Amino acid sequence: MARILYIGGTGTISAACVRRSVALGHEVAVLNRGGARRPLPAEVRLIQADIRNPATVRAALGGETFDVVAQFLAFTPEHVAADLDLFEGRTGQYVFVSSASAYEKPPRRLPVTESTPLRNPFWQYSRDKIACEDALVAAHRERGLPVTIVRPSHTYDERLLPTLGGWTDIARMRAGRPVIVHGDGTSLWTITHSEDFAVAFTGLLANPAAIGDAFTITGSHAPTWNQIYGWLADAAGVAAPELVHVASDTIAAFAPDLAPSLLGDKAHSMVFDNAKVTALVPDFRTTITFDEGARRILAHYDEHPDAQRVDADLDAVFDRIAAHARAAG
């Protein structure tokens, strides 16, 4: 049994990892500011502190040590530097959750592996993650920091819609209005359920073979975007959704807020080789494909009408893009 401290612990990915750690019999604590987005298991000890305020973390933790600190909320080198000041010397493994969006875009070869270069000129989020990794690798080389780096790609649960517009897309489908799909909809997109991700992630915790290394964690399920939208339409009870295919650059021009994650990730076929993590965690595999995932998502939203929020600004932008596509076509 390991003593594990999760920083965050209630997000799309981390909540599933917390549940899995508890099921495996580990002693689990979660550090966050409270107000959990997803409920914590009763066995979890909540430590309320703000990771952006190191003094509150020191006061809350006192002299405690942990076998693992799993960091889901570090996004810049400054966050990592603060973490090293807080946790170096009090944990046997610091696990940094990076992002597979850090891999080069566009990819020169598929599948992507851990040796694929890290370079993303489109998305600052990805460049910051790369800088975080650089700082951690330097600390490992210079003074033996027991770090493990994990790179998830698109990971979801029942609350997270993977499309450009989220619930706005579902509302448009159900209203018989056009839904914008980037490119021609045939690019491949690896999409992983958080419950599957958690199997691989928790298998790396307190695992000596994972120290000083980086691992991609994605499933093997890589449908096309047309399939993803189609499965969502089926789950939403829409027999024939109107999917309007538009070049990613055009969408980015109309909706600049979508540009970084679209041009820096979703616009490209992304397929990954998970042999490295599977060698250490042989139980890891895809058990939930997105046809089932879509049904779970729509069931959740239909049971929670308060979550069915349409983004009026984005909805209007989609109308303009659809009109542009019709005029150009």
User: For residues 66 and 30, is the Cβ–Cβ distance under 8 A?
Assistant: no
Give the pLDDT confidence score for residue 328 in this predicted structure. Answer: 84
User: For residues 280 and 210, is the Cβ–Cβ distance under 8 A?
Assistant: yes
Give the pLDDT confidence score for residue 37 in this predicted structure. Answer: 78
Query: Does 3-156+192-217 match 167-190+221-270+287-328 in CATH topology?
Result: no
Say if residue 24 is exposed, middle or buried (CB neighbours under 10 Å; 0-12, 13-18, 19+): middle
Give the pLDDT confidence score for residue 38 in this predicted structure. Answer: 87
**Architecture in CATH for domain 167-190+221-270+287-328:** Alpha-Beta Complex (3.90)
Give the pLDDT confidence score for residue 35 in this predicted structure. Answer: 76
Q: What's the first-to-final CA gap in the chain, in angstroms?
A: 61
Q: Which residues contact 113 (CB under 8 A, 6 or more apart)?
A: 216, 272, 273, 275, 276
User: For residues 272 and 211, is the Cβ–Cβ distance under 8 A?
Assistant: no
* 22-56: pLDDT as tens digits: 999 999 999 999 876 788 999 999 999 999 999 99
**Architecture in CATH for domain 3-156+192-217:** 3-Layer(aba) Sandwich (3.40)
Structure-token pair, residue 175: 């209203």
Say if residue 36 is exposed, middle or buried (CB neighbours under 10 Å; 0-12, 13-18, 19+): middle
Does residue 240 sit in helix, strand or coil?
A: coil
- pLDDT below 70 — which residues of the chain? 36, 329
Does residue 3 sit in helix, strand or coil?
A: strand
Give the pLDDT confidence score for residue 70 in this predicted structure. Answer: 98
Give the pLDDT confidence score for residue 181 in this predicted structure. Answer: 98
Q: Which residues contact 175 (CB under 8 A, 6 or more apart)?
A: none
Domain boundaries of the chain, sorted by first residue? 3-156+192-217, 167-190+221-270+287-328
Structure-token pair, residue 169: 């897309």
Give the pLDDT confidence score for residue 265 in this predicted structure. Answer: 95
Q: Which helix (DSSP H) or strand (DSSP E) does residue 27 occupy?
A: strand 27-32
Residue 111: cis peptide before it, omega within 30 degrees of 0: yes
Structure-token pair, residue 168: 């706005």
User: For residues 71 and 129, is the Cβ–Cβ distance under 8 A?
Assistant: no
Give the pLDDT confidence score for residue 62 in this predicted structure. Answer: 94
